[in-house]
Amino acid sequence: MVELIFVRHGQTDWNTEGRTQGHSDIPLNQEGKDQAQLVAERLKSISVDAIISSDLERAYHTAEAINNYHNVSIEQTAELRELCFGNAEGRLSKDVIAENPDFFDSLKDIESAEFWEAKLLNSESKKEFLDRFYRFLKDYINKNPEHKKIVVVTHGHAMHCVYADVFKDIRKFKNTEYISLYWHADKNKLQGHPFRYAQIQTPRLRLRTPLLSDTAYWAEYFNNWNVVKEMTSSISYPFNQQDAMNYLIKILYPRIDQGNAVGFVIERKEKNGTYTFMGVISYERDSEQKEVGRGFWLGEPFHGEGYMSEATSYANKYVAEKMAVSSIYTRSAVSNIASNRIKEKEGWVVISKGKGLYKLGELEEYKWRLDLISDNIVVE
């Protein structure tokens, strides 16, 4: 299995002006050069075997910045270019959209043939793009079997197409945003980060990666003052389904795709073979990659049955093994007796005491650390 780290190029003047770029060779502006340096610094600790890049200047110069920390070969190719947008290139995107509303409406349904095959103004369809893009990746990987981790510097719509193909979902990528995908030679296709498919079985529970279809239940149980009152002040309340979707799409999924987070929905196994949504656990690395923090919540109807202690004991071991960390950290209000009791049962140690902002206001808080083990776990 080969890991491919897809990186969108840095900003250009046409990005800021809202112009369609496509195959037009537009250079990075100063902000784009700064962004390229920042993403290079974020990726410098990763052991990279090779870098492949679109031959357009904005992508290649981003690849060069990344390579300053790796000193590996960079292969340029037109096969990794952005989609060709034909006569729309150079024009303001909003004008093209306004002039062709029916065409762009057809691109909202990812299950439709139009999403993949539609073309406008002598452009390239998503299907045509993916054919050339995947053909190059397959050939490159077959010719370079020693390369197990490859940085692929490409473009926004290119990454949008690849993401839609892998996850059957629509997502936009900001300049220099990146995502890890994996080429499976036996299946001859790309798949998401393994954390996207995480699943754990416990005696009473199933833990699995959250789905957008979970958000209605998420909102139902999380929009409860008794659940959120001793959580940090950054938590939205009242909380609705759109808040849950925003968290998944804008925060959790991007971090999972970078290997910097793991999330689990907690489900109770029912006797009839179905599952009942109860809550969520998440583990996320901080921005400096120094600590992995944990957060969790459980719907009020499920309190007092030991479900969270059971879920976290298995999830902690998964994280120890799959994220390769020896300790995790969290904070909680001193007054949050139930949450603190769970931590004490797990063996957490209070490493400091201070004050923090919570929904109830400024409260005394503990910072905790748990040293992890990774045995006795059933992972599907």
CA angle, 220 as apex, 216 and 221 as ends, to 5°? Answer: 125
What is the identity of the amino acid at 318?
Y
Residues 256 and 164: their CA atoms lie apart, in Å, by 16
Peptide bond into 238 cis (omega under 30): yes
**Rounded to a whole number, what is the distance in angstroms from the first to the last CA of the chain?**
18
Q: Which are the contacts of 191, defined by CB distance < 8 A and separation ≥ 6?
A: 166, 181, 182, 184
Tokens, residue 134? 């995947």
For residue 291, the Cα-to-chain-centroid distance in whole angstroms is: 18
Tokens of 379: 């992972």
Pairing relationship of beta strands 149-154 and 50-54 according to DSSP bridges:
parallel
Residues with catalytic function? 9, 82
Measured in whole angstroms, how far is the alpha carbon of residue 5 from the centre of its chain? Answer: 12
The pairing of beta strand 349-358 with beta strand 361-371: antiparallel
Lookup: tokens for 32:
């784009």
Burial grade of 75 (CB within 10 A; 0-12, 13-18, 19 or more): middle
